[in-house]
């Protein structure tokens, strides 16, 4: 396998389509303009909509964050209205930033549609630049959940401070702090993290739009790959920590809120779901990368796969011998979208757990920022959320993971 195979001179194409000769730094294995005059790579372009679809699915999954999945199938009366301090202030648990990550994935999909539809250098940048920003948003969401679930103030209400932050702090990298254990104490080092992420993203954006040819392809995969590897390491860390039932980043904060049997059940659910999300996401990613590499480097052999099919015409029945291209890059779009969705839900789940764990820890320590969110005038007659409430993974139809809330039946 040699990556140099993608840099071979392009053969002359007598049937150039609407967008003219390709000017992108890479041309994939699908033949150009064979389906329609208007789209260079028909299957690759159409399959890019998978990323748009999974981005929309990710945004839809956020509607489950406040739903109680511990309800009985046929409750005698509807669930009471609950005042959940963190659900009341979604910015504190990073919902806006998570929403923006899924939105960025949709932009990647549309950029990929433009890239494969035209094979021009400008559309390639439209595909690759959003990929960098999406990966950075995904990574920063996980890092914030690890080190500073929400920037609660130590001496005054956090709500006003959170609202006054700029878009970078609110959406990309909110205030990170040196962390001891799971507590968010210490001096803030937001400028360093913010500058690092922004410099990386801006550098990638400039290089991808200024460079042409093979150098642009290599530069993109080096800079983008570094963020992807960091994201993989982050999800691996989340999965590894879940194996330890006593790890402070798990669901141990609700241990004294339920009976041993209930807590053990929730702990096992936590461990199983984290492992499942990580394994599925990683497997889909690895399979997708293998297909992507094969399609890229062995196109000469793949496009010659023999294929026989029956044909019935005026002259009678006959067997037609031709070649078959399995459209590997189109499968890459589907599989990598599924993998990213699973890992994105894993990071979202870890982010929610960190928020609730830190909030209730702050309530026990009587931190002003946490106590401010529990003031009586904020409840307005609703039942106040409890420490025993915990985010969980819910599997829609047994296949689609979403993050929801598990609340005890005591609310009834």
- Would you state the pLDDT for residue 78? 66
Residue 322 within a domain:
no
Residue 292 within a domain:
yes
Which band of pLDDT confidence, cut at 50, 70 and 90, is reported for residue 347?
A: very high
Residue 181 within a domain:
yes
H-state helical runs in 91-212: 95-118, 121-147, 158-164, 167, 190-210
| Average pLDDT for 224-237 | 89
Residue 294 within a domain:
yes
- Would you state the pLDDT for residue 345? 96
More confident residue, 171 or 329: 329
Residue 97 within a domain:
yes
Q: What are 244-265's pLDDT values in tens digits?
A: 888 888 898 898 888 899 999 9
What mean pLDDT is reported for the chain?
79
Q: What are 42-89's pLDDT values in tens digits?
A: 999 999 999 999 999 999 999 999 888 887 666 566 667 888 888 888
Residue 310 within a domain:
no
Residue 3 within a domain:
no
Q: Which value, in Å, is the radius of gyration of the alpha carbons in the chain?
A: 25
Q: What CA–CA distances, in Å, run from 97 to 101, 104, 141, 215?
A: 6, 10, 7, 32
- Would you state the pLDDT for residue 74? 60
- Would you state the pLDDT for residue 15? 58
* CA–CA distance, 89 with 347 (Å, rounded to integer): 19
- Establish whether 30 is an annotated binding residue: yes
Going by the DSSP 8-state scheme, the letter that residue 36 receives in this structure is B
- Establish whether 138 is an annotated binding residue: no
**Hey, what are 150's tokens?**
């929400």
Residue 267 within a domain:
yes
| Average pLDDT for 5-23 | 59
- Establish whether 116 is an annotated binding residue: yes
Domain that holds residue 402: 17-299+328-411
- Establish whether 247 is an annotated binding residue: no
- Would you state the pLDDT for residue 50? 95
- Would you state the pLDDT for residue 277? 96
Residue-wise over 241-251: b if at least 16 C-beta within 10 A, else e?
bbeeeeeebbb
How many residues would you count in the chain?
A: 412
- Establish whether 187 is an annotated binding residue: no
Whether residue 278 is predicted with pLDDT greater than 90 in this model: the reply is yes
* Domain total in the chain: 1
277 closest CA partner among 336, 214, 346? 346
- Give the CA angle between residues 289, 293, 298 to the nearest 5°: 150
Q: What CA–CA distances, in Å, run from 409 to 72, 388, 396?
A: 9, 11, 21
- Would you state the pLDDT for residue 8? 37
Whether residue 37 is predicted with pLDDT greater than 50 in this model: the reply is yes
Domain containing 83 — which CATH number? 1.20.1070
* CA–CA distance, 234 with 18 (Å, rounded to integer): 43
Q: What are 279-302's pLDDT values in tens digits?
A: 999 999 999 999 998 888 888 887
pTM of the model: 0.83
- Would you state the pLDDT for residue 186? 40
- Would you state the pLDDT for residue 266? 93
- Would you state the pLDDT for residue 402? 96
More confident residue, 305 or 211: 305
Which band of pLDDT confidence, cut at 50, 70 and 90, is reported for residue 148?
A: low
| Average pLDDT for 144-157 | 56
- Establish whether 278 is an annotated binding residue: no
Which band of pLDDT confidence, cut at 50, 70 and 90, is reported for residue 116?
A: very high
Whether residue 9 is predicted with pLDDT greater than 60 in this model: the reply is no
Q: What CA–CA distances, in Å, run from 220 to 7, 101, 127, 191, 204?
A: 15, 20, 11, 25, 7
Q: What are 356-368's pLDDT values in tens digits?
A: 988 888 888 887 7
* CA–CA distance, 215 with 115 (Å, rounded to integer): 18
| Average pLDDT for 200-208 | 73
């Amino acid at each position: 396998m040699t990556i140099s195979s993608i840099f071979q001179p392009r053969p002359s194409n007598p049937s150039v389509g609407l967008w003219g000769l390709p000017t992108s730094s890479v041309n994939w294995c699908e033949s150009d303009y064979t389906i329609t005059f208007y789209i260079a790579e028909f299957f690759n372009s159409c399959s890019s909509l998978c990323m748009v679809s999974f981005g929309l699915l990710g945004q839809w999954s956020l509607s489950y964050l406040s739903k109680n999945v511990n309800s009985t199938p046929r409750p005698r009366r509807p669930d009471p209205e609950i005042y959940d301090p963190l659900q009341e202030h979604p910015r504190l648990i990073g919902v806006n930033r998570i929403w923006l990550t899924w939105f960025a994935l949709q932009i990647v999909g549309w950029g990929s549609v433009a890239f494969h539809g035209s094979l021009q250098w400008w559309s390639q940048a439209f595909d690759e630049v959003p990929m960098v920003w999406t990966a950075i948003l995904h990574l920063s969401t996980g890092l914030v959940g690890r080190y500073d679930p929400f920037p609660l103030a130590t001496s005054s209400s956090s709500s006003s401070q959170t609202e006054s932050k700029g878009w970078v702090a609110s959406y990309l990298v909110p205030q990170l702090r040196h962390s001891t254990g799971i507590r968010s104490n210490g001096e803030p080092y937001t400028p360093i993290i913010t500058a690092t992420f922004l410099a990386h993203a801006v550098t990638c954006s400039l290089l991808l739009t200024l460079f042409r040819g093979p150098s642009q392809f290599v530069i993109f995969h080096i800079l983008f790959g570094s963020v992807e590897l960091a994201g993989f390491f982050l999800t691996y860390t989340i999965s590894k920590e879940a194996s330890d039932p006593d790890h402070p980043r798990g669901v141990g904060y609700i241990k004294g809120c339920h009976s041993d049997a209930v807590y053990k059940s929730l702990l096992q659910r936590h461990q199983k779901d984290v492992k499942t999300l990580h394994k599925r996401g990683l497997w889909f990613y690895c399979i997708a990368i293998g297909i992507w590499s094969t399609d890229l480097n062995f196109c000469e052999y793949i496009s010659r796969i023999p294929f026989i099919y029956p044909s019935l015409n005026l002259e009678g029945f006959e067997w037609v011998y031709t070649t078959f291209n399995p459209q590997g890059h189109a499968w890459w779009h589907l599989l990598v979208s599924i993998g990213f969705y699973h890992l994105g839900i894993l990071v979202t789940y870890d982010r929610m757990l960190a928020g609730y764990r830190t909030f209730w820890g702050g309530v026990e320590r009587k931190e002003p920022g946490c106590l401010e969110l529990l003031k009586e005038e904020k409840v307005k007659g609703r039942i106040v959320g409890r420490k025993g409430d915990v985010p969980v993974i819910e599997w829609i139809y047994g296949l689609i993971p979403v993050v929801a809330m598990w609340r005890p039946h005591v609310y009834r």
